[in-house]
Each structure stands twice: as structure tokens, then as C-alpha cells.
């Protein structure tokens, strides 16, 4: 059996991963489960999947979990903190690591898994945005592998030949990322300033966490995915394009020099890319509803409006600038989205915060992990200053 660690087990990707595991009995042994502070969900997962260790980032939540585990007599070690997350990712009895911690918090455990030579099932795009070079170097040095989980990058992975890191040799012209456009695709522009956090989190097609849902509404998620695609597939940002596809059926496409365009299609269900990555190079059950193109009727596509999605333009600019700009972009976005969800700033102020912080960045580019983390922290402080200026 394949030993599996799930980082971010209590989130939407983690829950979907365990659903796929349960549908394929005898293939996986869950060795480690981690979460942030939702100890009750993690307790239920421990009851069902019997991991060797359960880790919570929050110390108080871990204490609650430890007490419940002891009361029920479960044979699960409970730990807490950042070091325990990294330990879970590099356990000797773990073969594959689902890296599904949201945001910059997922960087260190994802790197730990890569350095330990694991198969990294990457759902944490921020780790690549912040430290793509370091992650690729760690995988090369350890002999580890990476299979992307984001539906768009997993689709590209499936549509590219085995030489995925040699796009020129494979005849690749461009990579096309599809985007639903989120809940405000047709909302009048003048109404965007007044949208609420709950409205921004009501994605039309996908069930996701609140932070990722807001990123979808602003299309920052697509900007981060452009940067991620560059690192994962060895292309420059000029060769990655975005197209609005409201149905979320075509997950991404690869254009080849002979005129062929290969696409991966499926119903919008994260269990499909998760099952692909868990089973790769084999195919396994996901639980997703089969796609019925006749019932669907039609697929539509349109360009992304720059004035509707300024965050996408900021991300493209950061991708083109390279160096530390993606680190700054991601840090400012996380701070701004958190402030929006807390009701501190308005929806349209998210892009204003990011633009302001990016404009202040003048280098030097971070050369190592310590410099990346320092730039991340500095950018968050700059974002907080701007947020205070824009507070409602």
C-alpha cells in the first residue's frame, strides 16, 4: 500500500482526498493528517482512517484533539506547530504527500516533502509562486516527483507528453488556463465595490474554502496559476494565456505548433484531479459524476476583461517581472483577502492594496528560503499599512 500524508486534511481538498482514498480500499494507508484548528473534523478523520499522527497548527486546538483522542483510546499521536507539520511531510512511512495547506503557510512542509524525495501532490499554488526555483531544485536533488492537483495544472499535465519539462522539444506553442470568471462575471462594474464576503464566496461551479473563493472572484487565483504553470512546465509567462469558460468543463488546453489543441474535460469536481494524481500513471475511481456532453449542450469561451479583473493584470505583471515580485504579490494578496473577509476593506480595495505593495518593491531578489520568508513578512507589513489607510 502507498503511505499517504495529507497536509490540510480538514479543508476542501483534504476532505475530497480522503473521499477518493475511501473509494479505493487497499491502495492507501493514511499515515499522517494535518489541519489548522478544526480539531473536531480531524478527530472524525482519525476515527475513520487511523493515521499514525495528527497535527494541528494551533496549539490550543491540538490540546483539545489530544484529550479527545485519549478519551476514545485512539492509537494516534497528536502534535502541533510548524515543525510537526514538516515532520509529517517527511515521515519514512510516507510515499506521497498531498500538499493542500492554503497560502504561504504551506511552503515549508511542501519543501520538506520535496527534499525528502516524496511524490508531492501539489494543491498549494502559493508554494510554487513564492519558491518555484527552490521547489524544483529540491525535487531534482532528492529524486522526488510532483503531480499538480489544481484542476487547471492537472489538466495541462494530462495534455502534455512525457517530456513535460521540454515544451519546445514537444512542439508546445502555448498553455491555455480556463477560468469560470467567478460569481461576478456579469455583475455591473459599478456594483463591485459593494459586494459582500459571503457573495464573493458563492462560487458558481466549485466548492472551495473562503480564501480561494475570493481569489476566484478577483481572478487572482488565475494570476497565481500563470506563475505556477511557468515553474511547473518550463515556459515563460508570455506563453501562458487565460480564457473565461463559465461552464468549468474544459479545465485547460495545450496548443501545439502543428495546429492541434489538446484539452482535458470533466465535471467540476476536485476528486477527478485528485484521483488522477493519486493513481498516476494508472487511473482509479474518483466518485465524480461522468460528463454528459449532450446534456450539457454547449461550451462557451470569452476573454477576461482587464477592468473587471485588475488582480489578474497585477499577477501577470509580477510574473513578467520575476524575481521577488511573485512573493510580494502573494503576500499582499493574502493580507488583502483576509482584510476583506474580516469586513475591514471593500472588494475592490483588494487590488488597490496589492498594487500599492508591488509598486514599493525594488529588490533585491531573494536568493534563498530565508530571504523569501523575509520578503514575505515585509510585504505583509506593507499591505497592513495600506489596509489601515483603506479601512471602511
Cβ–Cβ under 8 Å, residues 106 and 127: yes
118, 148, 178 - which closes a domain: 148
> Residue 367: inside a domain, yes or no?
yes
Nearest alpha carbon to residue 265 among 287, 243, 245: 245
Nearest alpha carbon to residue 14 among 4, 1, 2: 4
- Average confidence (pLDDT) over 240-244: 96
Whether residues 137 and 196 fall in one domain:
no
pLDDT tens column, 269-326: 999 999 999 999 999 999 999 999 999 999 999 999 999 999 999 999 999 999 999 9
Whether residues 235 and 162 fall in one domain:
yes
Residues in the chain: 392
Q: In the sheet where 96-99 sits, what is the strand order?
A: 77-80, 53-56, 28-35, 2-7, 96-99, 119-122, 145-148
What is the percentage of the chain residues whose pLDDT exceeds 70?
98
Confidence check: pLDDT of 165 > 70:
no
Confidence check: pLDDT of 257 > 60:
yes
Residue 169 dihedral angles phi and psi, to the nearest 5°:
-65, -30
Confidence of residue 53 (pLDDT cuts 50, 70, 90): very high
Helix (H, G, I), strand (E, B) or coil at 250: strand
> Residue 315: inside a domain, yes or no?
no
- The CATH number assigned to the domain holding 58 equals 3.40.50.720
Whether residues 161 and 262 fall in one domain:
yes
CA 277-242-321 angle, 5° bins: 95
Q: Which residues of 108-127 are buried (b: 16+ CB within 10 A; e: fewer)?
A: bbbbbbbbbbbbbbbbbbbb
Confidence check: pLDDT of 163 > 60:
no
Q: Which residues contact 174 (CB under 8 A, 6 or more apart)?
A: 239, 240, 241, 254, 255
> Residue 317: inside a domain, yes or no?
no
Q: How many domains does the chain have?
A: 3
> Residue 194: inside a domain, yes or no?
yes
Whether residues 195 and 90 fall in one domain:
no
Whether residues 217 and 257 fall in one domain:
yes
Q: Is residue 173 classed exposed, middle or buried when 0-12, 13-18 and 19+ CB atoms within 10 A define those classes?
A: middle
pLDDT tens column, 171-193: 999 999 999 999 999 999 999 99
Residue range(s) defining the domain that contains residue 8: 2-148
Confidence check: pLDDT of 164 > 70:
no
Whether residues 247 and 291 fall in one domain:
yes
Residue 196: DSSP 8-state: -
- Average confidence (pLDDT) over 215-240: 95
- Which pLDDT does position 170 carry in this prediction? 84
Q: Which residues contact 218 (CB under 8 A, 6 or more apart)?
A: 182, 309, 311, 312, 347, 350, 351
- Which pLDDT does position 248 carry in this prediction? 93
Whether residues 11 and 144 fall in one domain:
yes
Q: Say what the pTM is.
A: 0.92
Confidence check: pLDDT of 392 > 80:
no
- Average confidence (pLDDT) over 369-381: 95
- The CATH number assigned to the domain holding 333 equals 1.10.1740.10
CA 152-264-104 angle, 5° bins: 15
Whether residues 261 and 282 fall in one domain:
yes
Whether residues 26 and 126 fall in one domain:
yes
- Which pLDDT does position 167 carry in this prediction? 79
245, 262, 296 - which closes a domain: 296
Whether residues 11 and 143 fall in one domain:
yes
pLDDT tens column, 69-120: 999 999 999 999 999 999 999 999 999 999 999 888 899 999 999 999 999 9
Of 48-57, 199-208, 211-220, where does the model show the most confidence? 48-57
Cβ–Cβ under 8 Å, residues 372 and 354: no
Whether residues 29 and 119 fall in one domain:
yes
Whether residues 143 and 257 fall in one domain:
no
- Average confidence (pLDDT) over 38-60: 97
Confidence check: pLDDT of 206 > 80:
no
Helix, strand, coil percentages in the chain from 3-state DSSP, rounded to 5: 50, 15, 35
Nearest alpha carbon to residue 6 among 53, 61, 75: 53
Q: Is residue 367 classed exposed, middle or buried when 0-12, 13-18 and 19+ CB atoms within 10 A define those classes?
A: exposed
- Which pLDDT does position 311 carry in this prediction? 97
Cα–Cα distance for residue pair 16/79, rounded to 1 Å: 23
Amino acid at each position: 500500500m502507498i503511505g499517504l500524508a495529507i497536509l490540510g486534511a480538514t479543508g476542501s481538498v483534504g476532505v475530497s482526498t480522503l473521499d477518493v482514498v475511501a473509494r479505493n480500499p487497499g491502495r492507501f494507508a493514511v499515515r499522517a493528517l494535518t489541519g489548522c484548528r478544526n480539531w473536531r473534523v480531524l478527530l472524525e478523520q482519525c476515527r475513520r482512517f487511523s493515521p499514525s499522527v495528527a497535527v494541528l497548527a494551533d496549539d490550543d486546538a491540538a490540546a483539545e484533539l489530544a484529550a479527545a483522542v485519549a478519551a476514545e483510546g485512539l492509537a494516534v499521536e497528536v502534535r502541533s506547530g510548524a515543525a510537526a507539520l514538516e515532520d509529517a511531510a517527511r515521515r519514512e512511512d510516507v510515499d506521497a504527500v498531498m500538499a493542500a495547506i492554503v497560502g504561504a503557510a504551506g511552503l515549508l512542509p511542501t519543501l520538506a516533502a520535496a527534499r525528502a524525495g516524496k511524490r508531492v501532490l501539489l494543491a498549494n499554488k502559493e508554494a510554487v509562486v513564492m519558491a518555484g526555483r527552490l521547489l524544483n531544485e529540491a525535487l531534482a536533488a532528492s529524486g522526488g516527483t510532483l503531480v499538480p492537483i489544481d484542476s487547471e495544472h492537472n489538466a495541462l499535465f494530462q495534455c502534455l507528453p512525457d517530456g513535460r519539462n521540454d515544451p519546445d522539444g514537444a512542439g508546445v506553442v502555448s498553455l491555455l488556463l480556463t477560468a469560470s470568471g467567478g460569481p461576478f462575471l456579469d455583475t455591473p462594474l459599478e456594483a463591485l465595490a459593494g459586494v459582500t464576503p459571503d457573495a464573493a464566496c458563492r462560487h458558481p461551479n466549485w466548492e472551495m474554502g473562503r480564501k480561494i473563493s475570493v481569489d476566484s472572484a478577483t481572478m487572482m487565483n488565475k494570476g497565481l496559476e500563470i506563475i505556477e504553470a511557468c515553474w511547473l512546465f518550463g515556459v515563460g509567462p508570455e506563453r501562458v494565456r487565460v480564457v473565461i469558460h463559465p461552464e468549468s468543463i474544459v479545465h485547460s488546453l495545450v496548443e501545439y505548433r502543428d495546429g492541434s489543441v489538446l484539452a482535458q474535460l470533466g465535471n467540476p469536481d476536485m476528486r477527478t484531479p485528485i484521483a488522477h494524481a493519486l493513481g498516476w500513471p494508472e487511473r482509479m475511481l474518483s466518485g465524480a459524476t461522468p460528463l454528459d456532453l449532450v446534456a450539457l449542450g454547449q461550451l462557451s469561451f470569452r476573454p477576461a476583461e482587464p477592468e473587471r479583473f485588475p488582480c489578474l493584470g497585477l499577477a501577470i505583471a509580477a510574473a513578467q517581472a520575476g524575481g521577488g515580485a511573485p512573493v510580494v504579490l502573494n503576500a499582499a494578496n493574502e493580507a488583502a483577502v483576509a482584510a476583506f473577509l474580516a469586513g475591514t476593506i471593500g472588494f475592490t480595495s483588494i487590488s488597490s492594496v496589492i498594487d500599492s505593495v508591488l509598486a514599493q518593491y525594488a529588490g533585491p531578489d531573494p536568493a534563498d528560503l530565508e530571504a523569501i520568508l523575509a520578503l514575505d513578512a515585509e510585504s505583509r507589513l506593507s499591505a497592513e499599512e495600506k489596509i489601515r489607510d483603506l479601512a471602511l
